[in-house]
């Protein structure tokens, strides 16, 4: 156990052996994650199209990127996803968790929200493609309730198609966010809430002044996770609308995929991917820092 | 019951019913025989044709082969990934690798790259090395993606095991390789299982790698197959597409129901 035995002959041969144990992980990660990442960064500064050798074009892709009208739409949609697919599912998840926490049969009340989470992204897209089709279930419901939108072609018109898909994602994600908040509610200290309750605080005031501040670190984490995931939205858009019609529901992730693998413009696609990962990287970094402090406080 | 309690339940019930509407539509129309489908009557059930619908989808998109391949990817890759990750965690924590923290950061750093940043080089590299559209190619990339999380969880897990255990085994003459397989790996089965389940779900649901790195019906993963099914079909065959969407979600629905809590905790660390 002492320092001496760690430095002894036994331990130092272990240490050499240690490189053998760690190398499969390092090789896999370096070869299939780091190397492609670096190569994408490089390609973003070239005009590689898969046929002719790549030549260096400097910032040309990024300049073109700023002038591309499809890109303006794509950035707008991505921002809509980032805000909508974060605020709505996290807000509803929090609401469901707080309302169902501590009441008898809470798990049963939560069940309707949990079922959609287990569906795959492609499964989700298939269902909502069916619900949102023109003259489909969404139109029926809005018509029956006398709300506007009974004749709206949800998957065709922009930005309705993006909003509709955000609602689809909300339907899937609210439950798992509720589950995360529930774990948080169970692990925050009980004393402050008891004390506040003794002082006569109930309902909204108890939540606003006691529970919410205690949940804040966890909320940061949940918001961060949703934000990073929604910035990279691909599956549901690709399967439901393929980014169309006329590229009007594309997100940056879809634009990147289309440019690279449909148009074979690898250089340009790599530049879009690079821009996308700069944004997600910045967001991840900000929330990871918060997550560190949250885990220090023992919340997560 | 207090007024507040009634209000809470009322809000939950209204929201819950709203949430059940799509679930209801999915179930009713996925079990409806394909021939009975009529876009003006989607709200009322008619007949039971779920298995026929799945069979039609199965034949049209050759789901059987895709499901077989996907099951292979979703089992073999996380298994390889967690063992490779566990080996790294073992080397760093138990064998006290020099500069272990930096090795760990190098491996765990693999989680920060968005999938989009990997696709083009992987596609180009796979194409020129005969890995494109092969099962081994997909197993390889899925395994690599599993490694960082496994190393993270297992490193934490091994930190909690007393070092004397290792020393005692060494004194008894066991090699560090043997100690890993006989003592440390069996001890960490619960942690390995948790990582395995998360990675299984990730791979089963993956669309992007499958879309980019495979093409043929026997290699492409299930989500890719179903997404092609949904774009190729229209009108009358909606029950077929819905049945397929539901059918391929069954493994993850089952896993989720069995391990809800685990999902919630694992999600916080396994989002990438």
What are the structural domain ranges in chain B? 3-52, 62-232
For residue A50, the chain B residues in CB contact (below 8 A) are: 124
Q: Judge whether A161 and A248 are in contact, CB under 8 Å.
A: yes
For residue B238, the chain A residues in CB contact (below 8 A) are: 130
C-alpha closest to that of B122 among A51, A266, A284: A266
Contact (CB<8Å) A1/B253: no
Q: Report the distance separating Cα B177 and Cα B175, nearest Å.
A: 5
Residue A2 has pLDDT above 60, yes or no: no
Q: Judge whether B24 and A115 are in contact, CB under 8 Å.
A: no
Q: Report the distance separating Cα A175 and Cα A170, nearest Å.
A: 9
Q: What is the DSSP letter of A259?
A: I
Among B4, B120, B238, select the one facing A40 at the smallest CB separation.
B120
Is B6 near chain A, with CB under 8 Å? no
Q: Judge whether B264 and A180 are in contact, CB under 8 Å.
A: yes
pLDDT value for A15: 65
What's the gap in Å between the CA of A61 and the closest CA on chain B? 16
At B48, give phi and psi (nearest 5°).
-130, 110
Contact (CB<8Å) A261/B151: no
The H or E element that residue B5 is part of is helix B3-31
Maximum Cα–Cα distance across chain B: 77
Distances in whole angstroms, Cα of residue A269 to Cα of each of A235, B59, B160: 17, 35, 45
Please tell me the number of Cα atoms within 13 Å of A216 on its side-chain side: 8
Q: Judge whether B51 and B202 are in contact, CB under 8 Å.
A: no
Distances in whole angstroms, Cα of residue A179 to Cα of each of A109, A175, B21, B264, B266: 12, 6, 21, 6, 12
Token duo for residue B1: 């019951």
Contact (CB<8Å) A114/B271: no
The mean per-residue pLDDT over the stretch A93-115 comes to 90
Token duo for residue A15: 């240490």
Distances in whole angstroms, Cα of residue A230 to Cα of each of A70, A84, A101, B271: 19, 9, 27, 12
Token pair 């968005």 is found at B114
The mean per-residue pLDDT over the stretch A39-63 comes to 90
Among A113, A239, A253, select the one facing B230 at the smallest CB separation.
A239
Contact (CB<8Å) B120/A29: no
Give the Cβ contact number of residue B11 at 10 Å. Answer: 15
Token duo for residue B221: 């993963």
Indicate the pLDDT class of residue A29, thresholds 50, 70 and 90. very high
- Name the most confidently modeled range: A2-6, A35-39, B201-205: A35-39
Q: Mean pLDDT, chain A, as a whole number?
A: 86
Token duo for residue A16: 């050499």
Share of chain B above pLDDT 90, in %: 49
Q: ipTM for the complex?
A: 0.86
C-alpha A62 chain-centroid distance: 25
Token duo for residue A183: 């774990």
Among A1, A10, A15, select the one facing B163 at the smallest CB separation.
A1
Indicate the pLDDT class of residue A43, thresholds 50, 70 and 90. very high
**pLDDT one-digit tens code per residue, B84-130:** 999 999 999 999 888 889 999 999 988 888 888 999 999 999 999 99
C-alpha B143 chain-centroid distance: 12
Those residues whose C-beta lies under 8 Å from the C-beta of residue A265, and which sit 6 or more positions away, are: A49, A259
Q: Judge whether A215 and A187 are in contact, CB under 8 Å.
A: no
What's the gap in Å between the CA of A6 and the closest CA on chain B? 9
The mean per-residue pLDDT over the stretch A121-129 comes to 87
Contact (CB<8Å) B87/A221: no
The mean per-residue pLDDT over the stretch A30-48 comes to 94
Distances in whole angstroms, Cα of residue A77 to Cα of each of A193, A261, B33, B115: 41, 21, 37, 19
Contact (CB<8Å) B238/A17: no
The mean per-residue pLDDT over the stretch A135-142 comes to 89
What's the gap in Å between the CA of B3 and the closest CA on chain A? 11
For residue A174, the chain B residues in CB contact (below 8 A) are: 19
**pLDDT one-digit tens code per residue, A146-205:** 888 888 888 888 889 999 999 999 999 999 899 889 888 888 888 887 888 788 777 788
For residue B120, the chain A residues in CB contact (below 8 A) are: 36, 39-40, 43, 260, 266, 269-270, 273
- The SS3 call for residue B165 is helix
pTM above 0.80, yes or no: yes
- The SS3 call for residue B93 is helix
pLDDT value for A274: 93
pLDDT value for A210: 85
For residue A228, the chain B residues in CB contact (below 8 A) are: 271
Higher pLDDT, B237 or B218: B218
Domain B62-232 class?
mainly alpha
**pLDDT one-digit tens code per residue, B145-191:** 999 999 999 998 898 888 999 999 999 999 999 999 999 999 888 88
Domains of chain A: 3-38 (no CATH), 71-252+270-296 (1.10.3720.10)
The mean per-residue pLDDT over the stretch A228-244 comes to 89
Indicate the pLDDT class of residue A13, thresholds 50, 70 and 90. low
What's the gap in Å between the CA of B204 and the closest CA on chain A? 8
Give the Cβ contact number of residue A160 at 10 Å. Answer: 17
Contact (CB<8Å) A32/B117: no
Least confident stretch, A10-24, A130-144, A270-284, B78-92: A10-24
Is B122 near chain A, with CB under 8 Å? yes
Q: Judge whether A249 and A297 are in contact, CB under 8 Å.
A: no
């Amino acid at each position: 156990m002492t320092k001496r035995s760690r430095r002894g002959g036994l331990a130092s041969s272990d240490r050499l052996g240690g490189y053998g144990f760690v190398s499969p992980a390092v090789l896999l990660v370096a070869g299939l994650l780091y190397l492609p990442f670096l190569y994408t960064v490089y390609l973003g500064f070239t005009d590689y199209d898969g046929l002719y050798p790549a030549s260096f074009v400097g910032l040309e892709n990024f300049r073109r990127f700023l002038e591309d009208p499809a890109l303006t739409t794509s950035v707008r949609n991505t921002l809509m996803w980032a805000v909508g697919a974060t605020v709505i599912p996290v807000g509803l998840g929090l609401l469901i968790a707080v309302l169902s926490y501590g009441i008898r049969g809470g798990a049963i009340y939560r069940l309707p929200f949990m079922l959609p989470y287990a569906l795959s992204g492609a499964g989700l897209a298939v269902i909502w493609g069916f619900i949102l089709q023109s003259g489909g279930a969404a139109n029926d419901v809005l018509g029956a309730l006398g709300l506007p939108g009974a004749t709206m072609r949800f998957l065709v018109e922009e930005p309705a198609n993006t909003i509709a898909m955000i609602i689809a994602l909300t339907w899937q994600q609210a439950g798992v966010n509720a589950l995360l908040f529930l774990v948080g509610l169970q692990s925050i200290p009980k004393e402050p809430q008891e004390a506040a309750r003794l002082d006569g605080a109930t309902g909204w005031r108890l939540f606003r002044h006691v529970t919410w501040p205690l949940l804040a670190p966890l909320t940061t984490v949940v918001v961060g996770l949703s934000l990073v995931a929604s910035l990279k939205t691909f599956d549901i858009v690709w399967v439901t609308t393929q980014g169309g019609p006329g590229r009007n529901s594309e997100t940056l992730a879809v634009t990147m995929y289309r440019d690279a693998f449909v148009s074979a413009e690898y250089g340009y696609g790599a530049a879009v991917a690079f821009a996308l990962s700069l944004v997600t990287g910045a967001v991840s970094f900000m929330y990871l820092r918060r997550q560190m402090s949250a885990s220090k406080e023992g919340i997560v | 019951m207090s007024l507040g309690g009634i209000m809470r339940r009322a809000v939950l019930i209204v929201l819950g019913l709203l949430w059940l509407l799509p679930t209801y539509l999915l179930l009713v129309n996925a079990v409806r025989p394909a021939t009975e489908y009529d876009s003006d009557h989607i709200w009322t059930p008619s007949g039971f044709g779920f298995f026929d619908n799945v069979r039609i989808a199965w034949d049209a998109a050759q789901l059987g082969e895709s499901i077989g391949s996907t099951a292979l990817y979703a089992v073999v890759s996380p298994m390889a990934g967690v063992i490779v990750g566990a080996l790294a965690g073992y080397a760093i924590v138990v064998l006290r690798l020099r500069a272990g923290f930096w090795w760990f950061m190098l491996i765990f750093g693999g989680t920060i790259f968005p999938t989009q940043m990997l696709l083009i080089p992987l596609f180009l590299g796979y194409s020129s090395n005969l890995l494109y559209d092969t099962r081994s190619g997909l197993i390889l990339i899925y395994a690599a993606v599993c490694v960082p999380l496994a190393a993270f969880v297992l490193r934490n897990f091994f930190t909690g095991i007393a070092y004397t255990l290792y020393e005692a085994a060494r004194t008894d003459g066991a090699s560090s390789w043997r100690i890993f397989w006989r003592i440390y790996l069996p001890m960490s089965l619960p942690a390995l299982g948790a990582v395995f389940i998360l990675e299984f779900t990730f791979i089963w649901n993956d669309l992007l790698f499958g879309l980019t790195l495979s093409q043929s019906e026997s290699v492409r993963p299930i989500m890719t197959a179903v997404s092609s099914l949904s774009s190729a079909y229209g009108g009358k065959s909606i029950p077929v597409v819905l049945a397929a969407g539901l059918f391929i979600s069954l493994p993850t629905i089952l896993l989720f129901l069995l391990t809800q809590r685990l999902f919630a905790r694992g999600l916080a660390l396994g989002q990438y």
